[in-house]
Structure 1
Amino acid sequence: MGLLDGKVGIVTGAASGIGAATAQVLAREGAKLVLTDLDDAAGSALADAIGAAYVHHDVTDEDLWPSVIAAAETRFGRLDIMVANAGIGIMGNVIDMSLRDWRRQMAINVDGVFLSVKYCIPAMRRSGNGGSIVMLSSVAGLRGSAGLAGYSATKGAVRLFAKSMALECAQAGDGIRVNSVHPGIIATPIWGKLPVGQNRPIDPHAAAEASVPLGKAGEAEEVANGILFLASDLSSHMTGSELVIDGGLTAGRIVRLGA
């Protein structure tokens, strides 16, 4: 028996990175899934490979959300899990950042999560068996970082939004749990989209070796396993919590001793 047998979920931003790994792990554990993304080729290929449905979806477009929820309810009959994973990162000092970029990052990382919750909760309540909402924040939502102020602002917003929604659902007595996940330096394709210096992409492995106590970057599947825990009944007494998966990055710093 899989941990998610009989469960139905939606994973946004599922075409690559943590989203793709999450889709694979949840499907392996028995969940029926609807995957959404803007990368139709990769998203459709993954959906075909794991027996999921795929929907082209801009998470900031409210008009599309009812059709995403309907895809889950029509094909699989219910909704139990929402993984609000879609997000982007824009690096740079605030004084050099355009308002357009600020708003774009805020729209995807915060508005997209807001809409996922606004539309998934009624569906979960219709199923009558509670549910689990997992929001992807970041270690950047737990502490500040020069050059990532805009990104940190969005992920800090997600962190507290998760807590507030956990309390709203608890107050309603609907059995829906809401938690946030805070990855650290994880080796995913997003790093190639964060140029620094002379347009050189960041090497997550080098960055992790220099700053992560465990001395290495995490893998997307390691974050996906944490999401699986929160999505499953193994975490049935957890809501409003933060699951930090960062190799010790936020715990502090260590001095590496020579042999």
Structure 2
Amino acid sequence: MAQSSNTAEKPVVLVTGGAGGIGAAAVRRFTRNGSSVVIADLDAGRGAALAAETGAHFVRTDVRELADNEAAVAAAVERFGRLDIVHLNAGTISSTSIGEGFDPEGYRRLMGINLDSVVYGIQAAHAPLRASGGRIVVTASATGMRPSYEVFYSASKHAVVGLVRSLGPVLAAEGISINALCPGLVDTPMISDRMAELTRAGMAVSSVESVVDALDTVLADPRTGLAWLVMADRALAPFEFADLPVPQERNLAFENGGVRALRTG
């Protein structure tokens, strides 16, 4: 895994959703390479077991809550002295959709885990990452660039991709990079009940290790604000979005998320 940009020491890493799937594979890779790792997950049993296996530190975390994200970041800083890499990996899928089967509680839970957790994770880690010149990688999805029958899952990942692309230049000014990993189908428990049908349909399914390989590549790349497509049937690369230029925007100055004034120089 990549090292922090301003230190020769092995990086200090926080992984949300780190107790299973892609997150657990990332934790194993980071610790195997000598990084100090904090696992943030709601599943205390699996989180503690993985921590015991790898030497990582586990913090029980409900990523839907800002305070829990702040506590996980604080644990990393207090235990290891700094924070260099944040892998915001927590995610879930839901079968709820528009119409008769709409489940508002399921919808809010999905958005809380898939979108709110990313916003809260970035906010919680902002100060220590600014101090270290750190890096953020968010696990999004290929459905963040295309329509999907998993409508709210797709909507949440579209939001995550838009957030990463918009924050790229904002955080770059503070020495922080942010990118999104956008996997297609990955062999995790999230799709285990659908694996037989997916296989029969000829769908390409990636291994978790290949996604962590992609994470390695993204962390080693100096660019920011990109959505990296990670699919079993094509090479890893940033997704090429169609451009929508608004040249007049360069005349505006922005502060705290809003237009402040016309630029004077």
Matched residue, 2:136: 133
Closer, same or farther in 2 for the Cα pair 1:84/1:239, shift >3 Å?
Answer: same
Whole-Å separation in 2 of the counterparts to 1:135 and 1:125: 17
Q: Contact 1:25 / 1:225 at 8 angstroms: preserved in 2?
A: no
Whole-Å separation in 1 of the counterparts to 2:22 and 2:80: 24
Segments of structure 1 that go 5 or more residues without pairing to the other structure are 193-200, 252-259
Whole-Å separation in 2 of the counterparts to 1:29 and 1:175: 24
Whole-Å separation in 1 of the counterparts to 2:97 and 2:234: 22
Structure 1 residue 240, shift from structure 2 partner: 0.8
Q: Contact 2:88 / 2:118 at 8 angstroms: preserved in 1?
A: yes
| Alignment match of 1:207 (pick from 186, 198, 202) | 198
Letter in 1 for 2:226: S
Structure 1 residue 87, shift from structure 2 partner: 0.9
Question: The residue matched to 2:232 in structure 1 has which SS?
Answer: coil
| Alignment match of 1:60 (pick from 41, 45, 64) | 64
Letter in 1 for 2:194: I
The percentage of aligned residue pairs carrying the same residue is 33
Matched residue, 2:239: none
- 1:216-245 deviation per Cα after TM superposition (whole angstroms, max 9, x unaligned): 4211111011112223xx212x11111111
Whole-Å separation in 2 of the counterparts to 1:208 and 1:177: 36
Question: The residue matched to 2:201 in structure 1 has which SS?
Answer: helix
Structure 1 residue 80, shift from structure 2 partner: 0.7
- 1:149-207 deviation per Cα after TM superposition (whole angstroms, max 9, x unaligned): 1100000000010111111112x2x2211000111111111124xxxxxxxx211x641
Letter in 2 for 1:226: A
Structure 1 residue 30, shift from structure 2 partner: 2.2
Q: Contact 2:184 / 2:231 at 8 angstroms: preserved in 1?
A: yes
Task: Please give the TM-score of this superposition, normalised by the length of structure 1.
Answer: 0.83
Matched residue, 1:159: 161
Whole-Å separation in 2 of the counterparts to 1:230 and 1:250: 13
Whole-Å separation in 2 of the counterparts to 1:18 and 1:144: 23
Where relative contact order (Cα < 8 A, 6+ residues apart) is larger, the structure is: 1
Whole-Å separation in 2 of the counterparts to 1:220 and 1:84: 15
Whole-Å separation in 1 of the counterparts to 2:184 and 2:117: 21
Matched residue, 2:106: 101
Closer, same or farther in 2 for the Cα pair 1:101/1:124, shift >3 Å?
Answer: same
Closer, same or farther in 2 for the Cα pair 1:91/1:249, shift >3 Å?
Answer: farther
- Residue 223 (str. 1) matches residue 226 (str. 2): no
Task: Please give the TM-score of this superposition, normalised by the length of structure 2.
Answer: 0.81
Segments of structure 2 that go 5 or more residues without pairing to the other structure are 4-8, 237-265
Root mean square deviation, CA, Å: 2.0
Matched residue, 2:6: none
TM alignment of 1:66-105, pairs within 5 A: 66-95=70-99, 96-105=101-110
Matched residue, 1:235: 221
Closer, same or farther in 2 for the Cα pair 1:208/1:137, shift >3 Å?
Answer: farther
